[in-house]
Chain A
Amino acid sequence: MAIEIEKPSSVRLSKVAISKTHGEDSPYFAGWKAYDENPYDEIHNQSGVIQMGLAENQVSFDLLEKYLEEHHEVSSSGKGAPGFRENALFQDYHGLKSFRQAMANFMEQIRGGKAKFDPDRIVLTAGATAANELLTFILADPGDALLVPTPYYPGFDRDLRWRTGVKIVPIHCNSSNNFQITPEALEAAYQSAESMDLKVRGILITNPSNPLGSTIQSSVLNDILDFAVHKNIHLVSDEIYSGSTFSPSEFVSIAEILRNRNYKDAERVHIVYSLSKDLGLPGFRVGTIYSYNDDVVTTARRMSSFTLISSQTQHLLACMLSNHEFTQNYIKTNRERLNKRYDMIIQGLKKAGIECLKGNAGLFCWMNLSPLLNEPTRQGELELWNIILNQVKLNISPGSSCHCSEPGWFRVCFANMSEQTLRVALQRIHKFMEQRKVCSVNQ
């Protein structure tokens, strides 16, 4: 058979397809791989890797299951399946009105009624992953930039940049002030973008923060909004962990800041939300965009055609989230349980001699292992990370994968496992720290 001379770039896939911007080469994902190959199991694999790199909320499933057991009308297969046909046919990109209403109510409840949400400004997407990408397509052109405070969720590298062609310019935050975003850091990031000839189109903050596990203070939110107004750029607030604050009074949403300002400058603000973290339903792909800008709402709605939420899921959640008694109880109980978990891990780490950033939200803590580094560099951090993954057998996420500018910090998830498993993890950490103490004493 004749050797075919490959024609230049004719069977080549697209540049987007070939690029590495999907981000899966990051250690963030390498750790998952190690876990997949040797997953811990309480009974069958007690020496396996414990997954502490996945920000899932598994502490409140019993509440959801109880609801389902008590409300069979939610199933579209019950009682003659009257809704099945209508549900199966419903593909309107406006989304089920009852579901949007329920989401608006839920978001209000989470904010203790301190902000109001209009269901007609809610656009539905298949997960926050899609919501963040979609907003980026709408707010920026290829080659433009978004400013994102570090450390940030590694998935943003893919979600904001991969298919959009938009760039991320980091707003550097550090431990000297608990990684808070300062006006100086904002300005420095903006200047940095300008010096690279990049047009800044917006800022994306995550509040409560992933990976820090802390809420952004009211004064800082005001500074950020002022900055956005001053530069005439957009502000996206990813509030995916808003229902996971341990105490309701500690979370201030950008929606409240706007309300306090009588919604002046609102047309540049957009909120991303999802049920993946607060309700622990990542598989159901429920994301939302809430925008105060009519053009953005209209365009986002049209674009959501590429990523609608299954009508079956919209129906289930509309029923569930319209039940006020259920949601009140859920939000309260979920907060309490997360708080309890957080206390448990912080105490456990403290006993082992490890400090964490003071957190008040989220499904993880931001652990400081900088004292353990051989050298205060990214390389030093990755070496330590490797030891923790392969010897201590814990998959935790290195700060460098979150673009943290200071080496030695790690994100450790605590809500995606049973209390028993968390105890095992803490025992392993304790043992590891003990061994290191012995080693350093002997040196």
Chain B
Amino acid sequence: MVAISKIATGNGHGEDSPYFDGWKAYETNPFHPIDRPDGVIQMGLAENQLCFNFIKKWVMEHPEASLCSAEGVNKFEETALFQDYHGMPEFREAVAKFMGKVRGDRVKFDPDRIVMSGGATGAHEMVAFCLADPGEAFLVPTPYYPGFDRDLRWRTGVELVPVVCESSNNFKITRAALEAAYEKAKEANLRVKGLLITNPSNPLGTILDRDTLKGIVKFINEKNIHLIGDEIYAATVFMEPEFVSISEIIEEVECNRGLIHIVYSLSKDMGFPGFRVGIVYSYNDAVVSCARKMSSFGLVSSQTQHLIATMLSDDDFVDSFIVESKEQLFKRHKYFTLSLSQVGIGSLKSNAGLFIWMDLRKLLKEKTFDAEMDLWRVIINEVKLNVSPGSSFHCDEPGWFRVCFANMDDNTMEVALLRITTFMHKHNEAMVPRKLCRRASLKLSLSRRRDDFMSQNMMSPHSPIPQSPLVRART
């Protein structure tokens, strides 16, 4: 038997996390409204599918954006040959402009600081390779995206030290928490090279307020460590308060810009995860130069650069897209959270992202992560929803779940809500001796015909009114 490397044989790939187990459950029995109405509904995948009609319209009206059309094929040869790791200038300009617009044009981005990567996944790994040696560490506030364990650590040998944030103050990143994490790293003999924040947050769906951001910038300057701001959800901020980017803060406070780096992508804001458009934007010239060379390992397909350059340089399209996307996310978020609250499920107050941070602490048998896993298994196997357990995000408190809401159509959303309602109804019945069911017609924020979303197969057995989408249970 011929041996392979330690990296290959270890489990740094991170797929043993429950985050992925749910996906497996989904894959073996995926929901389909007609073929598999009892299948698992995927609510563990943070995708943005709400604006595709809007984008498709643009694509159909702009055949020149495709190299395959009669209008675009004249660019085929030069595009197919273009492998310069600087990236197409028009691509970088369009992305820089987009990033600026997403921040309300309060700040400008320099196209020459834009470096490509294989998605944000590739971007994070690349930044880690540039900033830290094997055995060194980054601080990361919890709860955080499970993929970081793989992206930042697997092939780089870099360690992650959690900055523990707590529900008692809505998971705020406090100075105390930062200091505690820094000390912990020191005690473990780990040299801290940087702090990685995700803003807007995955999985919380919240944004960092100005004071917190200023505090963070102060902290990293004092410790002389890098700050990596993952702003992949920047355009998904759908209501007040307004998003504040790291790029804005460094204009307002004293800061060594050589420490500041932003990771971005079009996977969430535009809903293009398949196109693998990752971006590293650094204010540090040496990092830009090094990252650019490393980008050879994960360049964006020139075919895709061409499409994106054409699309994002269309100012009218971009402006309307940003507005439309926020609106769709706002509506979906509002409907979802309102419906959940009506069956007694709360979530962290949020204004961004493609998910909510659902609070199921009171459903736990006991305040342990084992109980969280038990509940999670019930949700997957009985309620047939794939949601992501908080422990997979390194949350320090059991009972929280990330639930994605933007990766499905309205029909599927209704089915998911009905299942949750049914489950809560059963749960509430089990909790109290007397049940009192009130039928109520819920005023929907969407104007829709009832028949649009109610299919005969999905009727709740307990519903006294067959066409009522939701039953309000009173305990």
Chain A residues in contact with chain B, CB under 8 A? 7, 10-11, 13-17, 22, 24, 56, 58, 61, 64-65, 68-69, 71-72, 74-78, 80-81, 84-85, 87-91, 126-127, 129-130, 133, 137-142, 144, 158, 162-163, 201, 232-234, 267-268, 276, 280-285, 293, 295-296, 299, 302-303, 305-313, 316
Contacts and interface: CB of A to CB of B under 8 A. Distances in A.
A427 B429 CA distance: 92
Given A69-B70, A282-B82, 11 more contacts: A10-B223, A13-B131, A13-B290, A24-B293, A65-B76, A68-B67, A69-B73, A80-B60, A89-B47, A141-B5, A312-B307
B303 A84 contact: no
B77 A91 contact: no
Given A24-B293, A72-B69, A137-B7, A65 B274 contact: no
A354 B6 CA distance: 49
A10 B259 CA distance: 10
Given A17-B131, A89-B274, A312 B121 contact: no
B155 A77 contact: no
Contacts of A133: 297
Contacts of A162: 294
A81 B80 contact: no
B141 interface: no
Pairs of residues from A and B, 8 with the lowest C-beta to C-beta distance, nearest first: A311-B274, A283-B302, A75-B68, A310-B301, A91-B273, A10-B224, A282-B83, A283-B82
B13 interface: yes
A77 B66 contact: yes
A69 B276 CA distance: 26
Nearest to B124: A306
Contacts of B80: 61, 64, 280-284
B256 interface: yes
A282 to B, nearest CB: 4
Contacts of A137: 5, 7-8, 155
A254 to B, nearest CB: 15
B243 interface: no
A11 B69 contact: no
Contacts of A80: 60
B287 A17 contact: yes
A426 B307 CA distance: 39
B59 A81 contact: yes
B444 interface: no
A77 B65 contact: yes
Given A11-B258, A81-B56, A310-B303, A130 B297 contact: yes
A8 to B, nearest CB: 10
Contacts of A75: 63, 66, 68-69, 72
25 contacts: A10-B223, A10-B224, A13-B286, A13-B287, A17-B130, A58-B77, A72-B69, A88-B271, A88-B275, A91-B274, A91-B276, A129-B296, A138-B5, A268-B2, A276-B83, A283-B79, A283-B81, A284-B80, A285-B83, A285-B301, A295-B9, A303-B154, A306-B298, A307-B122, A310-B276
A99 to B, nearest CB: 12
B271 A308 contact: no
A77 B307 CA distance: 11
B147 to A, nearest CB: 8
Nearest to B118: A307
Nearest to A281: B80
Contacts of A138: 4-5, 7-8
Contact of B129 (A16, A69, A84): A16
A16 B298 CA distance: 17
B265 to A, nearest CB: 11
B66 A76 contact: yes
Contacts of B303: 283-284, 310, 312-313, 316
B49 A89 contact: yes
B161 interface: no
B301 A312 contact: yes
A90 B271 CA distance: 10
A316 B122 contact: no
A130 B72 CA distance: 29
Given A15-B133, A126-B298, A309 B286 contact: no
A84 B304 CA distance: 13
A141 B224 contact: no
Contacts of B65: 77
A140 B9 CA distance: 11
B62 interface: yes
B294 A163 contact: yes
Contacts of A7: 224
Interface in B263-306: 267, 271-276, 286-287, 290, 293-294, 296-304
A77 B69 contact: yes
A139 B9 CA distance: 10
Nearest to A64: B76
A187 to B, nearest CB: 19
Given A283-B79, A303-B155, A139 B274 contact: no
B22 interface: no
Contacts of A77: 59-60, 62-63, 65-66, 68-69
Contacts of A158: 293, 296
A78 B66 CA distance: 9
B195 to A, nearest CB: 13
Nearest to B14: A302
Contacts of A87: 274
B302 A284 contact: yes
A316 B13 contact: no
B231 interface: no
Contact of A309 (B52, B66, B82, B301): B301
Contacts of B66: 75-77
Contacts of A78: 63, 68-69
A283 B129 CA distance: 24
Most chain B beta carbons < 10 A, residue from A133, A267, A305: A305
Contacts of A88: 52, 55, 271-275
B4 A89 contact: no
